[in-house]
A = this chain, B = another copy of it.
Amino acid sequence: MAERVVVVGGDAAGMSAASQARRRRDDLDIVALERGPLVSYSACGIPYVVAGDIGSFDRLVARRAQEFRDRHRIDVRLRHEVMAVDLDGRELEVRDHDHGRTFRLGFDQLVAATGGKPRRPDLPGVDLAHVHGVQTVADGEALVAYADQVQAKRVVVVGGGYIGLEMAEAMIRRGAAVTVVEGGPEVLRALDLEMGHRVRAAMERIGIEVRVGVKVEGFEPASVHTSDGPLAADVVVLGTGVAPASELFTEAGVPGGVQGALRVDRRQHTPVPGVWAAGDCAESFHRVSQQPVHVPLGTVANKQGRVAGINLGGGYATFPGVVGTAVTKVCSLEVGHSGLNEAQAAEHGFMAEAATIESTVKAGYLDDAGTIAVRLVGERGTGRLLGGQIVGDQGAAKRIDVVATALTAGMRVADLIDLDLGYAPPFSSVWDPLQVAARALEKRL
């Protein structure tokens, strides 16, 4: 009988793994079980459908189940949920929701790719109809339908992280008044406070109300209770982060690590023979802090899934880890960061210095030259770059990729000064803002 690979979870990580395995081994029996009605869609695109940039949620679907069946001979089964994993018996208990039946399915190799689940705060009223998560396309559809139905005028977004900010923009562009409530001292905790403050100030200029240092205490049909009093709300959007959906496997005996994410080696193999894990349910390794981390992002899921698939198809590939890069935008404001911020560097025991500079995205003499603030963090003694943060106008955020690449290469801050970065007046000042920041930081180091 053919060796059977069962992939649990049909999004980026799972379908990448399945496709790569098929590419290398024609003989494998590959089954992909997906709890929901879709495979391989971009959850990151949900805010842009809600905002109206994209006409329909359908457009977020990269590839249909039938395409995987036809082109890759992957036996994709939708609305099939794995209820239990028997590692010793090498069997899964599978619930077929459409046909209301439960069956057992054996496997030789298993890929855990169940993704993440939105953190729903354990607060009174969190299950009320107007409180919406935005993890799946179904969540997005429910939010849009509800907002249309009640003609949402006042929206409260809980959480000032990336998802919270993107949803705040989406709802304000739908014409609602939006308040973002963040329990921490500033939005975007991935940034140092002074950079987060720039983001908040820009949000306020756009007309988004931001309450920092305010705890949400509960929900009622027309309002949100907070430590700072009640806020009126037709609709509440939860931007409270994503936890690994790994219990199915940890309960079966696959070891869990950071926040319960599945532990994997550099080939995406768990400590259990023949069991692989990839995507939001798995751990990553942070190349700067050199610690395991949980990074629920589509880029990481795709990379990990690819690596798992190559290996289980008999090839050799490794995932060397992340440097913690993320970018986002809130209306015209762009934000990017990579590596460790100053506070994180201190937490990890680095003796760090940081410098922030302001410059322009294009040559300063061009009339439409937007602004950009860059903050770099470096290590004392070695002079090594530890991280960077960018807040600015159009053309600002993707510059963080230079920081990500430099961090990957283990460059020193001084090395950034020497980089031969592209220059022409519509793209940069003659010293790229990253290099202006590197020069400022180098003086302190």
Contact = CB atoms under 8 A, between A and B. Distances in A.
Interface string A356-367: 000000010111
A48 B366 contact: yes
A261 B133 CA distance: 63
A121 interface: no
21 contacts: A48-B366, A60-B365, A166-B424, A299-B420, A299-B421, A299-B431, A300-B420, A323-B420, A325-B420, A326-B424, A327-B422, A395-B398, A398-B398, A401-B419, A401-B432, A402-B402, A402-B405, A404-B420, A404-B421, A408-B419, A409-B409
B408 A299 contact: no
A124 interface: no
A344 to B, nearest CB: 15
Interface in A392-439: 395, 397-402, 404-406, 408-409, 411, 415, 417-428, 430-432
Given A12-B430, A409-B409, A298 B422 contact: no
A358 B324 CA distance: 27
Of all A-B residue pairs in the complex, the 7 with the closest CB atoms, nearest first, are A409-B409, A327-B422, A405-B405, A59-B365, A325-B420, A299-B423, A323-B420
A231 interface: no
Interface in A147-161: none
Contacts of A54: 365-367
Given A45-B363, A428-B398, A408 B423 contact: no
Contacts of A425: 42, 44-45, 48
Given A42-B430, A367-B53, A325 B397 contact: no
Nearest to A41: B365
Given A401-B401, A408-B409, 6 more contacts: A45-B425, A48-B425, A54-B366, A326-B422, A329-B426, A400-B422
Contact of A397 (B42, B402, B422): B422
B338 A420 contact: yes
A354 interface: no
A336 B404 CA distance: 19
Interface string A231-253: 00000000000000000000000
Contacts of A422: 325-327, 336, 338, 397-398, 400-401, 404
A300 B427 CA distance: 16
Contacts of A432: 401
A185 interface: no
Given A302-B430, A365-B54, A409 B405 contact: yes
Contacts of A428: 398
Nearest to A287: B420
Contacts of A400: 422
Contacts of A399: 398, 401
Given A395-B398, A409-B411, A427-B327, A420 B367 contact: no
A338 B395 CA distance: 19
Contacts of A48: 363, 366, 425-426
Contacts of A53: 366-367
